Amino acid sequence: KAGVTQTPRYLIKTRGQQVTLSCSPISGHRSVSWYQQTPGQGLQFLFEYFSETQRNKGNFPGRFSGRQFSNSRSEMNVSTLELGDSALYLCASSLNAGSPGEKLFFGSGTQLSVL
């Protein structure tokens, strides 16, 4: 079974630009979550989607948005990039996030650098 695939692996952008990151979950998984990892901050929850609906959202500004398609693939978009948006963005999938004890399966992430 193929794992969670994130593209691209690396991205360099300049301030003010926008970026779209893509995530393909494990086949059969319907929940996709996005996290931002920065040094010393751990994994900060961005949002979670299930069956094309956003069920939960973290404390990030509206510049961060996402969506999920009918095949469970997900994209996240960051508009008007700021230097502080430089981070590793991780996508995780599960059958149904929130089921007791259900673990997440992570992709390798997209490393975004904003210059």
Partner 1 sequence: DQQVKQNSPSLSVQEGRISILNCDYTNSMFDYFLWYKKYPAEGPTFLISISSIKDKNEDGRFTVFLNKSAKHLSLHIVPSQPGDSAVYFCALVVGFKTIFGAGTRLFVKA
Smaller CB distance to partner 1: residue 50 or 64? 50
Q: Which residues bind partner 1 (CB under 8 A)?
A: 4, 31, 33, 35, 40-45, 48, 50, 55-56, 58, 90, 92, 97-98, 100-109
Residue 35 half-sphere exposure toward CB, CA atoms < 13 A: 17
Spatial CA neighbour of 31 closest among 80, 83, 92: 92
Tell me whether the omega of the peptide bond preceding residue 100 falls within 30 degrees of 0, making it cis.
no
Give min distance, CB of 9 to partner 1, in A. Answer: 9
| Minimum distance from residue 63 beta carbon to partner 1 (Å) | 20
